[in-house]
Amino acid sequence: MLSYLESLEYLNSFINYEKKISFPYNRRSLNLERTRKLLSLLGNPQDNLNFIHIAGTKGKGSVSAMITSVLKAAGFKTGLYTSPHLISPRERIRIGEKLISKNEFAYFLSLIKSKIEKLIKNFNESPTFFEIYTALALIFFAYQKVDFAVLEVGLGGRLDATNVVSPLVGAITQISFDHTQILGKSLSLIAKEKAGIIKKKMRMVTSPQEEEALSVIRKTCKEKGIPLYEVGKEIQFQLISYSLKGQNFRLKGIRREYISLFIPLLGDHQLINAATSIGVIELLEECGVFIPPEAISRGLREVKWPGRIQILSSNPFIIVDSAHNAASAQALANTLKKFFPERQIILILGMLKGKDVEGVGKALCPLAEEVVLTGINSFRSLSPLSLQGEIKKFHGGKLTIKENIKEALDYSRTKVGNNDLICITGSIYLAGEALKLLGGEKFYD
């Protein structure tokens, strides 16, 4: 059997499109039939599982985490599959909040290894990193006999390896411009890829969308003969109060009203994600699964989703976020203005090549007294010098370059007072480095 480190080395020997800026987005690169063949060799572990499938540009991880937390609060054993990870590769596969163990990871990947070799030999097809990871999650969830498995789409939806399952309920979170060189340069093209998860006999919820994207989702649901429930239409919410501990809100759902709910996550966008999650939970009733309102309330109150406008310390405040496109950066900017008015902000920014530097810079740089540009420990990292060239037109103040997140954070701490704020953002990979540096491992073990 492979050791844990050997299993990671083996997994990383396969092509990983997460590490590529661009690649041919077609059925040769991303092949659902190849994933189905691998799963067939493994005995089709997906056939006896109940799935909830979440696609979208921003918020799909938060929605997946909220749904999982609610199902856990209701007493259901729930698997959660997300990507990418912040610190540990094991984050991607969980039962509730508990990560797959190193021994389990190694054991099940060892089982899959022989089937991969058979797939390569019999069909001359080598699966990708993400296809293998997905198979690992599905066989683990089947072994654990989970009541539900919540799957977050990796990229797009139509050709994503997670799209081999037949879900009970699905959701599409807010769609915005990201991975445009792969998914398309218009919201309608991107929405078409996301709507590829929609299948007959399932139930669908959508977060609020631009009309261009919404029309594609509505059309696809109509073609599949299934109803679509929309946040802002069938599902409505209203903020009651907020503090740095979280947000209270009321909600009128598909089936009932909730007078007072609480989420420990900041930002108006998280209220949208919570409303989307409740819509999914309520639609499970059509499958014969009733989730009590008390479980919904407790699950939302107890949800954990690190690296998303997460306050790691106060005095001064240090916030870590994963914003890497224009829409998520604007959501972060709105939250900073709302929750931290009139505070001096030092922005630590690091981004990957191919990401929307202009969109992020335009949203966040005007808020900062100083911007500290840093590198990320990835060959896809945009160099701080290159980042400076693109950012300077959005920031009239001081721009400082530091080689890595430790140097950037050490420097920033010398520049702020106790009531000021350091915000670290620009990439989920930078957020992971910051969390690890600041003791973020405690969220995963």
CB < 8 Å & 24+ apart, contacts of 139-145: 139/42, 139/45, 139/108, 139/111, 139/112, 140/79, 140/93, 140/100, 140/104, 140/108, 141/45, 141/49, 141/79, 141/81, 142/45, 142/46, 142/48, 142/49, 143/45, 143/108, 144/77, 144/79, 144/95, 145/77
| CATH number for region 4-301 | 3.40.1190.10
Task: Report whether 317 contacts 420 (CB < 8 A).
Answer: yes
What is the CA 61 to chain-centroid distance, rounded? Answer: 3
Question: In the prediction, which pLDDT does 418 show?
Answer: 85
The answer to whether 4-301 and 310-443 have equal CATH topology is no
Q: What is the pTM of this model?
A: 0.95
Place 30 in a pLDDT band, splitting at 50, 70 and 90. confident
User: How far is it, in rounded angstroms, from Cα 332 to Cα 428?
Assistant: 14
pLDDT digits (tens, 9 = 90+) for 379-416: 889 999 999 988 888 877 889 999 999 999 999 999 99
**What 3-state class would DSSP assign to 370?**
strand
Nearest to 437 by CA among 401, 407, 403: 407
Place 178 in a pLDDT band, splitting at 50, 70 and 90. low
CATH architecture of 310-443: Alpha-Beta Complex (3.90)
Q: Can you tell me the mean pLDDT for 195-202?
A: 96
- Per the listing, tokens 């599902």 go with 235
Can you give the residue ranges of every domain in the chain?
4-301, 310-443
DSSP string computed for 7-28? HHHHHTTS--GGG-S----STT
User: How far is it, in rounded angstroms, from Cα 181 to Cα 300?
Assistant: 35
